[in-house]
Amino acid sequence: MLNKQGRQTDIVNLTELPQDSFATHSGNRGLEQDELLIYEIGDTERTGVDLEEVENFENRLGGITREDKIGLAGLSEPETMRHYTRLSRMNYAIDMGLYPLGSCTMKHNPRINEKVARLPGLADIHPLQPMSTVQGALEAMDKLAHWLKTLTGMPAIAMSPKAGAHGELCGLMAIRAALDKRGENRSIVLAPESAHGTNPATATLCGYKVKSIPATENGHVDLEALKEALGPDVAAIMLTNPNTCGLFERDVIEIADAVHDIGGYFYCDGANFNAIVGKVRPGDLGVDAMHINLHKTFSTPHGGGGPGAGPVVLSEALAPFAPVPYVVHSKQGFALVEHMEDGSDSFGRMTAFHGQMGMNIRALAFMMSHGSDGLARVAEDSVLNANYVMASLQDDMTVSYPGPCMHECLFDDRFLNGSGIATLDFAKAMIDEGYHPMTMYFPLVVHGAMLIEPTESESKQSLDQFIGSLRHLVAEAKAGNTELFSGAPYLAPLRRLDETLAARKPVLRWTKPE
């Protein structure tokens, strides 16, 4: 077999081996091990550590001592280590390969961010330490806040929200507070059809009724429909720009003006800020509030249960309602304002402490290592890469809206019409090709959506390899090789899972087999 560069890589012809009949005694496939559940490796009847019985032990729990068994599996340290290390090897991660998940911006996390965040003066401090001992950390927060305000052209910022959706909540709470202050009880929030699901969820949580605005056939917000929906009962519009079809909303200033004319506010979902950072300042577009997903635009680590961060920038109109805490500085140094001053319009506090310090530091490291010209290049390269993918595949797959696109490109399933292959099957076949699938079935405005976001991290060579894989799959689909898709993935540790059964009858708890 030859590798990607045509270099000989193996001495055995894999295709000559009996595939499905190649059953091992262990269930493992070579060094790819069949991983059991932790309860199946360990046993509730044994323990991994031996603690000595305490002599003269006096139980002071009264009558509330647990009498039945706790039922945790006992494993030795090496068994536990191996279990989790093996599971981690099954993960697909941005550190392993291209991760084209549209609207999620799976970009490389530069290691300099990690190095800076691990400096003891930043990593080993506590939020309750006296302020005089954490001046450097406060200065870093202040600096990040300053640059985020500068990049967005907005006068105020709330640094404490802990994720994009949390930032949305912060923004809408500020809008609600501003309307309350005016003594108005507006009940409707407008959101386009292509909105992220978190937008209507946030508005609903804040007590608003969501009204959906349709998209035009070009994938933009329907300006006429939007203007028709505006009225004295509309509190705000929530708009993503660039939108989830990967298109810049060219009418954005007209939309902002129309919303302001009826006394409403303009919330911008900043999830796609990475496409315009250093190029466009949302403040110049009439935005009143916008969250910034630090893990997208500013490359802090993504998901996996790790902390996120979603600072929110606010316009002059909403600035008085920003939550505490915030950093101030004077001749005496930096300080956190922790409590609302008397007569303050702040809507209060969203988090116990001051936000995700580790994420703030990583984002600041990304900013300072790139500089202002570097950040503009981030936007340029992410848009260039997405357009390269779109242009390369436009004859093979069906582009939903004519380009150029912004940082992500949207395809639909028309190219699969009549093949018997659905978007889901196509995505599963990508796993066999060694790629995490793109975003499927979102946005909802096109049929069988496939949303690809390559990000600025990828080289041309890496994109060419990816494009080659997709072209190969399209050719196979068009040639009628449905089997390649219907049973995919064939080469992953697990084969096609029954998603329907998993959703209808989820097994949430392990029980010992009889």
Partner 1 sequence: MTTYYSEEHEWITVEGDSGTVGITDYAQNALGDIVFVEVPEVGNSYDKGDEIAVVESVKAASEIYAPISGEVIAVNDALEDEPALVNAQAETDGWFYKVTISDADELKELMDADGYKAFTAGLE
Cβ-based nearer residue to partner 1, 201 or 492:
201
Q: DSSP H helical segments within 266-356, as ranges?
A: 294-297
Q: Residues 234, 264: contact at Cβ < 8 Å?
A: yes
| Least distance in angstroms from the C-beta of 101 to partner 1 | 16
Q: Which two tokens stand for residue 68?
A: 């039945």
Cβ-based nearer residue to partner 1, 441 or 490:
441
Cβ-based nearer residue to partner 1, 222 or 456:
222
| Least distance in angstroms from the C-beta of 399 to partner 1 | 19
| Least distance in angstroms from the C-beta of 188 to partner 1 | 14
| Least distance in angstroms from the C-beta of 422 to partner 1 | 8
Cβ-based nearer residue to partner 1, 6 or 418:
418
First to last CA, the chain: 46
| Least distance in angstroms from the C-beta of 428 to partner 1 | 13
Amino acid identity of residue 35, one-letter, is E
Cβ-based nearer residue to partner 1, 60 or 504:
504
Cβ-based nearer residue to partner 1, 181 or 447:
447
| Least distance in angstroms from the C-beta of 334 to partner 1 | 45
Residue 34, C-beta contacts closer than 8 angstroms, at least 6 positions apart: 26, 27, 28, 493
Cβ-based nearer residue to partner 1, 68 or 499:
499
Cβ-based nearer residue to partner 1, 66 or 505:
505
Burial readout 88-114 (b: 16 or more C-beta within 10 A, e: otherwise): eeeeeebeeebbbbbbbbbbebbeebe
DSSP of 3-63: -TTS-B--SS-GGGS-STT---SSS-BTTB--PPPHHHHSBTT--SS--PPPTT----STT
DSSP of 181-233: HTT----EEEEETT--THHHHHHHHTTPEEEEEPBPTTSSB-HHHHHHH--TT
Place of tokens 């804040």: 206
Amino acid identity of residue 277, one-letter, is V
Burial readout 226-239 (b: 16 or more C-beta within 10 A, e: otherwise): beebbeeebbbbbb
| Least distance in angstroms from the C-beta of 214 to partner 1 | 12
| Least distance in angstroms from the C-beta of 441 to partner 1 | 4
List contacts with partner 1 (CB under 8 A): 424, 440-442, 444, 447, 499-500, 503-504
Q: Which two tokens stand for residue 121?
A: 């003066």
